[in-house]
Chain A
Amino acid sequence: MSILEVNKLTKVYGKDDAQVKALDNVSFTVEKGEFVAIVGASGSGKSTLMHLIGGVDRPTAGRVMVDGMDIFTQNESSLAIFRRRNIGLIYQFYNLIPTLTAEENIILPHLLDKRRPDPEKLEEMLSLLELTDRRHHLPGQLSGGQQQRVSIGRALINDPAVVLADEPTGNLDSQKSHNIMELLKLFNRQYHQTLLLITHDEKIALQADRILTLEDGRIIRDEAVRA
């Protein structure tokens, strides 16, 4: 069974004359442990696709199955709980809670569940992210790269079924960008973490197993990357 199944997904914004079809009948599947890059020009529907898979937006038509579960059949509260346990989101602008420390930001999905993560696992995560000595800092006291590492930690702490990353390196210089990509690949290879990455950077896309190309809300290419 595929970990992610996107079926005839359509999203229309606006009404009547001002209608924009952001996604048009998009279908594809992703297997567990796959690293898929989604590329396309701006306005091609990349972010819309990611928001729909992430369950933060609702489609006009179509289905998204995550780990065998049709996510849009759930009501808002249970979708929120599903999201916190099964989906990890990484944004271009980190989107951390400024009043919480790095560690608290990372374990936020657990905190919302009123659970504590396994301490060993947290230590492992912090050391992988190279944030062990920064764990009690607030986001404002961290560099851009560190902040992005925190947001990666937040996305991964729950071993989600799917991690969605929207231009995770878009706001970083090339050195930091390289580090972040290495980190994401590490999680993908070592922990078989399914990863969907949105980018317009071809070099980054080429590091994935497979590239989906979007244009005007449709998939125009779906090809495996030769290693």
Chain B
Amino acid sequence: MKSITANLARSQLKNNRKRTVVTIIGIALSVAMITAVFGFSASGINTMRNLAGEENLSNYRPVLVSLSAVLGTIIILSSIVVISNAFRISASERMRQFGILKSVGATKRQILKIVLQEGLFLSLVAIPAGMIAGLLVEWLGTSIGDALLAPMNKLLNTGLSIHMQFVLSWESLLLALCLSFATVMVSAYIPARKAARIPAIDAIRLTQEVKPTGRKPRAHKLVRLLFGFEGTLAAKSIRRSRRSYRAMVVALTISVVLFLICGSLDAQLAMAVNQTYANIDATSILTFSVNQSDSGPLDADSMQALTDKLKEYPDTQLYGVGIDGTHTIRISETALTDTMLSSYEPGQTEDGIILLAPDPEHYAELCQLAGVPVGSNILLNSTQLVINEKQTEFQPVRFSGQTLTVYHNGTATALPLDAQLTGTQVPQELLFVSEAALIVVVPDTEAYMYVWLGNSLDTTGFTEYAETVMYDFRQTYTSFSVTDITAVTDMTRSLTKLITIFLYGFVAMLSLIGLTSVIAAISANVRLRAREFAVLQSVGMTTSGVRRMLALESIMSAFKALLYGLPLGTLAMYLTYRSVTIKDTYQFIYPWLTAAEAVAAVFLIAVIATQYAAAKLRKGNIMDVIRASEGV
């Protein structure tokens, strides 16, 4: 024989098919997310194991485990808020039923059992569905991830390749199953306990849920002014049934916060990618250097030969430059501009100065630009610093055609400055290779490192060619590198895309859960308040008036979510900016577009919810509704 509690639980689910479906979707989404997070964690651990070896795994495991613990906690907590709300609605609809059951002799335990069994039935369907969906997400995620990692593997070219693999980890599946089940049961238990505690007589009279809390719901005058009488009623009913709307506000707030964090992280990643090779019109970076403590400078003639040899590759331009960073300088305050002094204090110690020797062709261009004959020393008077959180380009040196004194291994040398180039006159290539504030082009300087920025139609071919050429030119104490920028940028872009997809996927799923809770709350609201609406209509409120009231309720809740979500999100954004980026590398830019998108999305959800509620409003005879709700 079926137990009566199970029977009642099942019939409640059958009777409110729509809400049952929405609740199942909500639970399934939560379960899917929990499963996916643990799945990714297992996959990540697997990747690390392959990459770093079993013995080093202990270094990485805590990071991944704690990351998934944090994400899991966020998901579980917001799931409990949302799912619990669904059960609360379901229980409060049947408060009267529970009263009847109690009056014919049902115990507290039996009432508790009815609600918990409802959770059990929902779990039976929703948890397997959610776990399958979660595994699907994991499979999809790891496949996309692996595809995006491919260019990186090609680039690293070290025989060590990173792969993301779909891992079916029974431990994490079991963990997800237990946590999901616990989440549903806790969500069901909270309202079930409350329903079971209400005295039979109160439940029959249905006084508990509408019992005045002593505080009179009040609406602000402004609300009345802006939205009229319907607005006042809307504000009051939100205050009165704070709990129904709480789940909606919490879900939307969490979504807004996460959305903003994602937007900000995304922007920062994009900025980091752009920053690295910002203004460089190059496809390759080549370096050839010698360790200065072991050997003298590189031989200028052989470097010229190397440059010529590199240039032989078809459809390829090169910007070569020799770099000498072995000199120091004692700079006086009078030689620096105010802007420079504001962020830099010339000390007693010596500061670095970079001497550059571009290849003859480009050097000639510089001389022409500065209006001096070939052989002159040219000051590159341009640098960039973050001042007041803003990237600023300025002239560091007060140029007057002066002669600087530079030191090399304690010997002083005079370095006359014949001309200067400022602002956009300074080629980006030269700023790219040296990061110092003081840079002087000195044609015959002795370089310890040569850098070429290459532009080739066939980057891959040129990379191979350059590697063989440089290999032939190598000597003792020299080292060289060839970097394919296109590949690097491709890789960073792929990684950025990968991270973005995961982040936004996460947010999208949370928002979906939010939407299901909004719809569940509203449909229950409409059903529970049928009588209230009927009474309002019987005293002359029009149907569109009732609709307007419902619309305003959704919009006010959305507004509330934004009121919490935007400041919290902004704070979280700033915190991630602080913790993720190296200080002062690039400035904090408020992602206005993301914020605007968040606002638009929240109001869109509110509008959808309202449309849904309006559709739910039945056009029945008013008195029938009033009478019907008195009966059964």
Chain A positions within 8 Å of B, measured between CB atoms, are: 51, 54, 56-57, 76-77, 80-85, 87, 89, 91, 93-100, 104, 108-109, 111-114, 116, 139-140, 147, 154
Contacts and interface: CB of A to CB of B under 8 A. Distances in A.
Interface in B99-119: 99-110
Contact of B12 (A83, A96, A99): A99
Contacts of A96: 100, 632
A28 B3 CA distance: 39
A102 to B, nearest CB: 13
Given A93-B630, A99-B12, A77 B103 contact: no
B342 interface: no
B199 A116 contact: no
B201 A51 contact: yes
Nearest to B204: A95
A140 B201 CA distance: 23
A109 B201 contact: no
B12 A112 contact: no
Given A80-B108, A104-B7, 9 more contacts: A56-B199, A82-B105, A95-B204, A95-B632, A99-B15, A111-B7, A112-B4, A112-B106, A114-B4
Interface in B477-511: none
Contact of B97 (A87, A97, A104): A97
A100 B106 contact: no
A109 B104 contact: yes
Contacts of A81: 105, 107
B632 A77 contact: no
Interface residues of B, number: 30
Contact of A56 (B8, B110, B201): B201
Interface of B: 1, 3-4, 7-8, 11-12, 14-15, 96-97, 99-110, 199-201, 204, 630-632
A57 B105 contact: no
B452 to A, nearest CB: 81
A109 B106 CA distance: 8
Contacts of B631: 93-94
A80 B99 CA distance: 12
B94 to A, nearest CB: 9
Contacts of B15: 98-99
A83 B200 CA distance: 12
A141 B97 CA distance: 18
A120 B317 CA distance: 103
- Mostly, the B contact residues are helix
Contact of A109 (B7, B12, B105, B632): B105
Nearest to B105: A84
Nearest to A82: B105
Given A77-B108, A93-B631, A94-B631, A112 B199 contact: no
Contacts of B630: 93
Contacts of B96: 95
Closest 5 CB pairs of A and B: A84-B105, A99-B11, A111-B4, A56-B200, A83-B105
B625 to A, nearest CB: 14
B108 to A, nearest CB: 6
Contact of B100 (A51, A87, A97): A97
Contacts of A87: 105
A154 B99 CA distance: 15
B103 A56 contact: yes
Contacts of B110: 80, 112
A112 B632 contact: no
A112 B101 contact: yes
A112 B104 contact: yes
B105 A112 contact: yes
Contacts of A57: 199-201
A87 B105 CA distance: 9
B108 A84 contact: no
A36 B14 CA distance: 42
Contact of A98 (B7, B105, B199, B632): B632
A76 B103 contact: no
A108 B4 contact: yes
Nearest to B110: A112
Contacts of A89: 103-104
A77 B109 contact: yes
Contacts of B8: 97, 99-100
16 contacts: A76-B107, A77-B107, A77-B108, A80-B108, A81-B105, A83-B103, A84-B104, A84-B106, A87-B105, A94-B632, A96-B100, A98-B15, A98-B97, A108-B104, A112-B4, A114-B4
Contacts of A95: 96, 99-100, 103, 204, 632
A64 to B, nearest CB: 15
